Amino acid sequence: MKDLFIPVAAPVFNGNEKKYVDDCIDSTWVSSAGKYIKQFEDGFADFCHAKHALSCSNGTVALHLALMGLEVGPGDEVIVPTFTYVASANSVMYCGATPVLVDSEPDTWNLDPTKIEEVITTRTKGIMVVHVFGHPVDMDPIMEVARKHGLWVMEDAAEAHGAEYKGQRVGSIGLISTFSFFGNKVITTGEGGMVVTNDDALAARMRQLKGQGMDPQRRYWFPMIGYNYRMTNIEAAIGLAQLENFDWHFAQRRRIAEHYGRRFDKGTGVTIQPEKPWARSSYWMTSVLLDDNFPARDFVIQKMAEAKIETRPFFYPMHVLPMYCEQGKQRSFPVADHISARGMNLPSSGNLTAEEIDYVCDTLIQLGK
């Protein structure tokens, strides 16, 4: 086993991916027009139980497009969890607005609903929630706060394809949601993203924005400044094939997480991200915290790499990054700081074998002894 490198999250193509890509090449429809764009968008809208799904070139673009659709601009504030991938906060900055950071819950590692109201001001436009590592945010109290203060809620579901909150798929709860299809996600297009909403006017505005701002009724007439944020037909072809096989991809991520969970009992010093009774996580990655018996997390990652096992550290919280550290001086974020320092993602590829999972577990547990 030591001679076999185990990647942290490699894509699996076991459906119609090659067939559909070959069709794109044979037909010459390889750019941002072609039948697979609409098929993938329609299929993903149905998947999310939503009216509209707009494909775009990556997950960060999806965030920016959604915020532009919501008309976020200079002087506005958007509440964002400090423990998230940097794209969540950066997309707010792209609009000239300010991300206002909130600490995490200690159990789900998601944005803490009890800490939202204390940072709401007259400039607050909305709340961006992030379903971290595929576990749904506790949406009910957040939606209640949003209604009370007249705010919108946006779901960053980049890591949470198919995850459910109280039986409802994430991405269909807030006013708008975004997804990423990067190569390590539950389903992938290589690069790619999607924005999902039930709001007709919002969808129409974003569709125009992502296509250079061209008037949909008047070709080459541009009444607004837009962007080229479109997905290619080839990417959509891959995405459609992945979506057709979604149940398999989702089941594999959960199988892998359950196997890890059985191995990491209370005596191992490794705590897997818990799944709340009201949640069904996508387990984008099997994510764990190391207790104090372990050496420093980065040392553990180095030793795992020497054993031919690829892992990933958790994100740095936004408030320690140079662009956002001023907020770290104003408030404390103890939960996010702890999670970030002691957390790591384990190999989670859909084709990971039981033998490989056991090797990862044995190697990690031994480092804590």
The helix (H) or strand (E) run that includes residue 168 is strand 168-169
| pLDDT tens sequence across 192-236 | 999 999 999 999 999 999 999 999 999 999 999 999 999 999 999
CATH hierarchy code of domain 17-244: 3.40.640.10
Separation of CA 276 from chain center: 18
Query: Which class in CATH covers the domain with range 246-367?
Result: alpha beta
b/e per residue 281-317 (b: at least 16 CB within 10 A)? bbbbbbbbbbeeebeebeebbebbeebebbbbebbbb
297, 313 Cβ separation under 8 angstroms: yes
Residue range(s) in the chain whose domain bears CATH number 3.40.640.10: 17-244
Select from 71, 185, 51, 194 the least CA-distant residue to 125.
71
Report the SS3 class of residue 346: strand
pLDDT, tens only, 131-182: 999 999 999 999 999 999 999 999 999 999 999 999 999 999 999 999 999 9
Hey, what amino acid is at 203?
A
pLDDT tens across 256-297, in order? 999 999 999 888 999 999 999 999 999 999 999 999 989 999
Nearest Cα to Cα of residue 276 among 139, 102, 136: 136
**pTM, to two decimals:** 0.96
Residue identified by tokens 């149940």 is 247
Q: What is the pLDDT of residue 97?
A: 98
The per-residue pLDDT for range 50-66, each reduced to its tens digit, is 999 999 999 999 999 99
Residue 329, pLDDT score:
86
Indicate where the chain has its CATH 3.90.1150.10 domain(s).
246-367
Phi, psi dihedral angles at 148 (to 5 degrees): -60, -35
